[in-house]
Structure 1
């Protein structure tokens, strides 16, 4: 039975970013690393977007925007992203670039097999696939198991669910240098619903109809809303070139409690998704760097996770969206209506000072958050 220092069960975003950080550090040059996944990552299965100041993956970005729009039923605000740029990376481009980089490292092994079981056995771990077994010192698991989350009630689950169409129009209609970050002017129907538009050119854009809600819709309902939005833009003739569908868990459930001394859950399986927004890419970048640094000094993976005040902010927002889903647009509108947008993105990156936090929080509907605070401490 082959033994490795580290085994990654699943080769999604979190795993690939972490391994990429490892191979760039001298400490890991003599470490044997195994990556296991039934999926070869040869399709464009998702699109990631994030804002940054030019540090990450500019060479494979599909498109970038310097300006964006936020809209609600009552107002529309166009703003400069500076000092940030909003970037779009296609999953297939990311996989190709990272795998090409990783395949140059002789200490890495890739096996395309489904993982069926893994466990900690004293001073080592065991991983089983459908065809063989391996041992290792540490496991980093990104295979999401929703059962513990669904079985509990203390930490609500709100889904960020969406259907997206990449469309080409016969006439120019989109503004290619401006992304529509959130457009809440679409009918809310008792939910938190918005349209997300990423224009690639005047004739081509990705449109995603997105909800933050506890319940999903039938696919036809998402598609009907995209059609209605295109009609509102005056688009009658278009071709759908790609489609995508996703469901991202938004929850403050303590996934880290399932970690053990030698097994760490990462990515969505470890709660690496930003609970209040569903953004994953930037969070995974930060967590992967922190994990690689952590392993230089620590052998107990239970010590990796730390709760900060932003987790508590997210907890209150998710509680509100779960209990009163129809108020989501008013909360986000209160943040974007005025003030420095760059500070909002800094806040969502969890990089603000407490005074900057308060500046944003005090613009939000106070009664909603006071009631959420009361329910959190006295209502459960």
Structure 2
């Protein structure tokens, strides 16, 4: 039988779980989740910055008021107040989402039939599964046209445990650029300690393509040797690939279907960071529902930021600027809070101009000119 609900979430991962958590169990909505896999347990870790005082605070594994950015020339500690850098593991978010009482339909979604007043979601064979007033679709989706520049944020992280205190739980490393740099792109390590004996240590690249599993492992082994932490046990492994592209996504493909997560434009093109925008849009959806409005979030980032991201991606991709020098320069010439708010899409025009003025002028002008020519051609 077809299930009738007010709201259906297609895909049950981070974006959908954030919406369920923001709605809470007392929203009064009939909600269904369509996903062939029931998400549970620790399958991923999200790290993000923002101000304290959100519905996520009770779920956090750790948070830091300052972070370090490290290069071959030294270490810079960045005070984040009034913001903070925080870590959220997936299990408590999935548990909170499950406690909302949403109906779970463990089947892959097929065709969407949107008649302008209701959305019917069918399975792969065409049988109706659920009918809803609104559908929020978080499944991965390519942009509606290929980007002029398309990179990836790709990474492997090891959850490491030690028999003795080796980590400083009060200090997180946001970017450590002492890792060997790829021929085309930028790499860095980071360290997120939960205690003095347990931490997530990760190797990340911004580059056009992923590398082999053996290459990630070698990079992590080299980074750990650089840190000099001694003998450690690997308790868990996390991998991920996130698109970095100036290709546009379609956030609303039909009247009553809204895309969220990466498919809805929540991923920052210049870095691949996604979680903060997903959480922000989940809060907007919950507030809209509470006020009796359609569950349609605002665009994740201002149009001018997407243009700035396209220029930055082009400059990195064409070798007009070096990745390490570019990111280190942003933090060296701007308050950390301004840079992080920019990456979240929350800076003013005046602050954006200050950020642009702190970047390499001539290379970025060349990138901007190339981007304009590309837009005219396409």
Q: Aligned partners of 2:294 and 2:162: how far apart in 1?
A: 55
2:223 equivalent to 1:224: no
1:142 matched to which residue of 2?
138
Q: Aligned partners of 2:264 and 2:308: how far apart in 1?
A: 19
Unaligned 5+ segments in structure 1 are none
User: Secondary structure in 2 aligned to 1:329?
Assistant: helix
**Which of 345, 349, 359 in structure 1 is aligned with 2:354?**
359
Deviates more, 1:57-66 or 1:130-139: 130-139
* Aligned-residue offset at 1:112: 2.0
> 1:144/1:153 Cα in 2 relative to 1: closer, same or farther (>3 Å)?
closer
| 8 A contact 1:192–1:326 mirrored in 2 | no
- Give matches, 1:63-82, under 5 Å: 63-82=62-81
* Aligned-residue offset at 1:55: 1.6
Deviates more, 1:289-298 or 1:129-138: 289-298
| 8 A contact 2:147–2:246 mirrored in 1 | no
| 8 A contact 1:261–1:302 mirrored in 2 | no
Unaligned 5+ segments in structure 2 are none
| 8 A contact 1:22–1:292 mirrored in 2 | yes
> 1:326/1:189 Cα in 2 relative to 1: closer, same or farther (>3 Å)?
farther
* Aligned-residue offset at 1:24: 7.4
Query: TM-score, normalization: structure 2?
Result: 0.88
1:35 matched to which residue of 2?
33
Q: Aligned partners of 2:340 and 2:299: how far apart in 1?
A: 25
User: Secondary structure in 2 aligned to 1:201?
Assistant: coil
**Which of 43, 47, 50 in structure 1 is aligned with 2:48?**
50
| 8 A contact 1:193–1:211 mirrored in 2 | yes
**Which of 351, 361, 364 in structure 2 is aligned with 1:369?**
364
> 1:241/1:154 Cα in 2 relative to 1: closer, same or farther (>3 Å)?
closer
Q: Aligned partners of 2:186 and 2:301: how far apart in 1?
A: 30
**Which of 323, 332, 335 in structure 2 is aligned with 1:328?**
323
Deviates more, 1:205-214 or 1:310-319: 310-319
1:187 matched to which residue of 2?
180
User: Secondary structure in 1 aligned to 2:322?
Assistant: helix
Q: Aligned partners of 2:332 and 2:300: how far apart in 1?
A: 34
| 8 A contact 1:7–1:36 mirrored in 2 | yes
Q: Aligned partners of 1:300 and 1:228: how far apart in 2?
A: 47
| 8 A contact 1:137–1:262 mirrored in 2 | yes
Query: TM-score, normalization: structure 1?
Result: 0.88
> 1:156/1:298 Cα in 2 relative to 1: closer, same or farther (>3 Å)?
farther
> 1:306/1:326 Cα in 2 relative to 1: closer, same or farther (>3 Å)?
closer
| 8 A contact 1:262–1:301 mirrored in 2 | no
Work out the number of aligned pairs and report it: 369
Q: Aligned partners of 1:207 and 1:303: how far apart in 2?
A: 34
2:347 equivalent to 1:345: no
Q: Aligned partners of 1:110 and 1:143: how far apart in 2?
A: 16
